[in-house]
Structure 1
Amino acid sequence: MLSRPDILTSADGEAVAVENSAASGAVVLVCEHASRALPVRAGDLGLPAEALESHIAWDPGALAVSRLLSEKLDAVLIHQRFSRLLYDCNRPPESPAAMPDRSEIYDIPGNRDLGVAERYARTAALYVPFHDRISATLAARQAAGLENVVVTVHSFTPVYFGKPRAVEIGILHDTDSRLADGMLKAAEGGPFRVERNAPYGPDDGVTHSLRLHALPYGHLNVMIEVRNDLITESNGQGVVADYLAVLIQTAITGCLKQ
């Protein structure tokens, strides 16, 4: 375990990365589960290589799609540089899912019986800088007179505990469904099976970033989930990004006209 305040060293770099920071488009993209990397001092958390490469460590394809969306929408992109195994930045510190000791079929030995000091150290090193950067970015853009539309990007597994998932793209929202409604309407009759609040929804605790950065300020917002078998390769990533960019832009235009 990492019972020390210096979880990240100079060799690791910062917890958060910002790309296209000077973008003037309305969208701010957030990718909480962009990376499967672990800080040097974390080791492997007692997990085999297959687990560290699997969905429990990150959202495969999510960062690639986010980067393409950043280009297409002239959007700022903010993403976490380390695995959610150490801290899941889409969960608040009080949530057991923030530093789980089990994920799907895997026990996570390095997260077992974490003490208060270690939970605090991980929160300070990973969660706080990530969300502080999002808050600062949104505040600076608003002060500059730019629109803020918060879009978080994730991926999910085609099979979960042995049960296949038919949904291909999930459009998720919390109490503010304006942008999600517009995207779902734009998706009607399209090439993908798109569903509302699937395969997860707000009751599963997955809309933390939206609750933190969008809902209190009235920003248009949505969480996107893409089935990861659709975005394992560059061609699929491009197709999905093209599709999502149209849905997002169509929905924003419709919302701003109201």
Structure 2
Amino acid sequence: MLDDFSDPAAVEIVNMAGSAPILLTCEHASNHVPDGISLGVGPDALQSHIGYDIGAAAVTRRLAELLDAPAILSRCSRLVIDCNRPLLSPESIPDSVAGIEIPGNRGLSAAARAARARLYFQPFHDAIAGMLHRRDADVRHLLVSMHSFTPRLGDVERPWDVGVLQRRSPTIGTAMVDAFRAAGLNAIANQPYQIDDETDATVPMHGEAHGRPAILIELRQDRIDTAAGVQAWSAHTADAIRAVLR
């Protein structure tokens, strides 16, 4: 079910009436390329980590069930437009990612870029803003943005199971790392990325700008690329979020 602030072509909303004081988001949930857009890349690229965050959507949907929380997921590939990049960022509509050229994004007109923002970026963020505005009237919500990361980037090994990113919610971020570690998991704060105004949209826009607690969780992709991994890591993540809420 979708509310009037969302576009079903761009946004998936799960468990809208969930009772938990949490909103889950997944900016890189899909590798779908809408009709009428040609990126000039093959299916292998779209199925890889440059097309979407492997496993993140499945974990987000499962978390919505386990926590009884609403979740908002993007329905288009990050190569069409990245819903976790500010619109002025060069990575918003990238012309190359990880050394792979995206020919269909080169030389886009201002009108074409604006159309992608209007059709796919704005409905996603309007859905988040509308959901939080409505639900925060009852209780302040925790915003949790779900992502996944590659075990290796270039020559750099990434040994962690999970990273918890925060910038202005240090108490929550530390508590969540501690909860993961208490379960025997390799958790780290603010790795493999950091939240930044130049590279992040959701947490700064919908969390920090409103004084709302907000974190970004990065799960290692080879932990959640199977159904069993999704089940296990959804449970681990739900336990860590519950520990923070307590």
Please indicate the TM-score interval, normalised by the length of the shorter structure. over 0.9
* 2:84 corresponding residue in structure 1: 90
1:29 counterpart = 2:19: no
* 1:5 corresponding residue in structure 2: none
- Gapped regions of structure 1 (runs ≥ 5): 1-11, 254-258
* 2:4 corresponding residue in structure 1: none
Please say if residues 24 and 146 of structure 1, whose CA atoms lie closer than 8 Å, have aligned partners that are also in contact: no
The root-mean-square deviation of aligned C-alpha atoms, in Å, is: 1.6
Give SS of 1:78's match. strand
Structure 1 length as normaliser, TM-score?
0.89
- Paired residue total: 240
Q: Distance in 2 between matches of 1:250 and 1:189?
A: 11
* 1:218 corresponding residue in structure 2: 211
The amino acid that maps onto 1:202 is I
Give SS of 1:244's match. helix
Please say if residues 86 and 200 of structure 2, whose CA atoms lie closer than 8 Å, have aligned partners that are also in contact: no
Map 1:191-210 onto structure 2 (within 5 A).
Answer: 191-203=184-196, 205-210=198-203
2:68 to 69, 74, 80: 74
Q: Distance in 2 between matches of 1:252 and 1:220?
A: 11
Alpha-carbon distance, 1:163 to partner: 2.6
* 2:122 corresponding residue in structure 1: 128
Please say if residues 158 and 164 of structure 1, whose CA atoms lie closer than 8 Å, have aligned partners that are also in contact: yes
Please say if residues 89 and 199 of structure 2, whose CA atoms lie closer than 8 Å, have aligned partners that are also in contact: no
* 2:3 corresponding residue in structure 1: none
* 1:243 corresponding residue in structure 2: 236
Please say if residues 68 and 241 of structure 1, whose CA atoms lie closer than 8 Å, have aligned partners that are also in contact: yes
Q: Distance in 1 between matches of 2:129 and 2:9?
A: 17
The amino acid that maps onto 2:136 is Q
Q: Distance in 1 between matches of 2:182 and 2:136?
A: 35
Alpha-carbon distance, 1:215 to partner: 1.1
Q: 1:167 to 1:206 in 2, by over 3 A?
A: farther
* 2:177 corresponding residue in structure 1: 184
Deviates more, 1:207-216 or 1:28-37: 207-216
The amino acid that maps onto 1:169 is V
Paired-residue identity, %: 37
Alpha-carbon distance, 1:190 to partner: 2.9
Q: Distance in 2 between matches of 1:210 and 1:168?
A: 21
Q: Distance in 1 between matches of 2:126 and 2:171?
A: 25
Q: Distance in 1 between matches of 2:240 and 2:27?
A: 21
Q: Distance in 2 between matches of 1:13 and 1:239?
A: 30
Please say if residues 86 and 198 of structure 2, whose CA atoms lie closer than 8 Å, have aligned partners that are also in contact: no
Q: Distance in 2 between matches of 1:114 and 1:125?
A: 16
Structure 2 length as normaliser, TM-score?
0.93
Q: Distance in 1 between matches of 2:98 and 2:54?
A: 16
Give SS of 1:38's match. coil
Q: 1:56 to 1:179 in 2, by over 3 A?
A: same
Alpha-carbon distance, 1:185 to partner: 2.1
